[in-house]
Amino acid sequence: MQLIDGKSLAHKVQENVAKEVEELKQVKNIVPGLAVLLIGDDPASHAYVNMKAKACERVGFYSITHNMPDTISQDEIIATIEMMNANPRIDGILVQLPLPKHIDTDRILEVIDPKKDVDGFHAYNVGRLVTGLDSFVACTPLGVMKMFEEYDIDLQGKDVCVVGASNIVGKPMASLLLNANATVTITHIFTKDLKAHTSQADIVVVGVGVPGLIKEDMVKEGAIVIDIGINRIEDGSLVGDVDFKNVAPKCSYITPVPGGVGPMTIAMLLSNTLKSAKQRA
């Protein structure tokens, strides 16, 4: 069993981004810029946005966070996004989800200029991903693909079971795997017999937010398990969607939680923002 070390890979990605940022500054006098909209006072969202801001600082990006109260109107949010769409210093626009219930998330995401949609959530970029065209791809699934690449895991012809069908993780993950010529099964909360699908798969990718959902008898010997879930349990510790202690010995590769997929999400956000800045150049 080999652990897939997302922390060290994310560090490597960030080092490469920092080098390219320095070159972009020297040659084109361009500093990549990322703008984040943070609405409300959800502690997890604030912690995540702070991590993003620190990462931007480390690689030499210009970054700005628009803190807004959860009472803000939808029109005010749209006006702020349109202002950033028009700002030539901003290469990436990120709306931290989830949004307050009175805000139409789909409408907000559609307002973002697809060329600045570094989260890969705009329908334009999703459509390009599905059809195999170059696009901005959601950062977490993109991070998983980077892990496969780093560990020389060939996806062609592999049976992959994706557990979870969200727009942010499951669906883009399935599209990326299909584009890499894997055979993909997507399962979700209404799947009748989850074990029947996961136990046949060469690779299981899970991200649903249910601690310990994937048990030892649900994966076959030698499987590769990618755990995207991150859950804080009663004792305060962080765990994934996989019963790691019992599942890991059966695996050829597995991601830990924490230290697996999580760090790759921010690394890919930086990579996407750099990609947008280079298009400006």
164 labeled binding residue: yes
Selecting among 5, 52, 171, 243, the annotated active-site residue is 52
Mean pLDDT of 7-23: 98
Q: What is the pLDDT of residues 217-270, one digit of tens each?
A: 999 999 999 999 999 999 989 999 999 999 999 999 999 999 999 999 999 999
> 43-59 and 261-280 helices cross at what angle (nearest 10)?
50
Q: What are the C-alpha distances in Å from 251 to residues 101, 157, 211, 264?
A: 40, 19, 19, 21
- Cα–Cα distance for residue pair 226/34, rounded to 1 Å: 28
Q: What is the pLDDT of residues 226-236, one digit of tens each?
A: 999 999 999 98
- Cα–Cα distance for residue pair 260/263, rounded to 1 Å: 7
Which CATH class for the 139-262 domain?
alpha beta
Selecting among 91, 117, 119, 243, the annotated active-site residue is 119
40 labeled binding residue: no
182 labeled binding residue: no
Whole-number pLDDT of residue 75: 97
DSSP code of residue 208: S
φ, ψ of residue 24 in degrees (nearest 5): -60, -40
* Fold (CATH) for 29-131: Rossmann fold (3.40.50)
Residue type, 269: L
- Cα–Cα distance for residue pair 280/162, rounded to 1 Å: 35
The β-bridge relationship of strands 224-227 and 231-232 is unpaired
The residue among 218, 164, 216 whose CA lies nearest residue 195 is 218
Give the tokens for residue 15.
């080092």
Render 85-115 in DSSP notation, one character per residue: HT-TT--EEEEPSSPPTTS-HHHHHHHS-GG
Give the SS3 label for residue 226: strand
Whether 44 has a pLDDT exceeding 90, the answer reads no
Selecting among 96, 117, 241, 243, the annotated active-site residue is 96
pTM greater than 0.75 (yes/no): yes
Q: What is the pLDDT of residues 125-171, one digit of tens each?
A: 999 999 999 999 999 999 999 999 999 999 999 999 999 999 999 99
| Domain 29-131 identical in fold to domain 139-262 | yes
Q: In the chain, what are the domain boundaries?
A: 29-131, 139-262
Q: Is 14 a catalytic residue?
A: no
194 CB burial (10 A radius; 0-12, 13-18, 19+): middle
189 labeled binding residue: yes
Whole-number pLDDT of residue 280: 85
Q: Is 119 a catalytic residue?
A: yes
230 labeled binding residue: yes
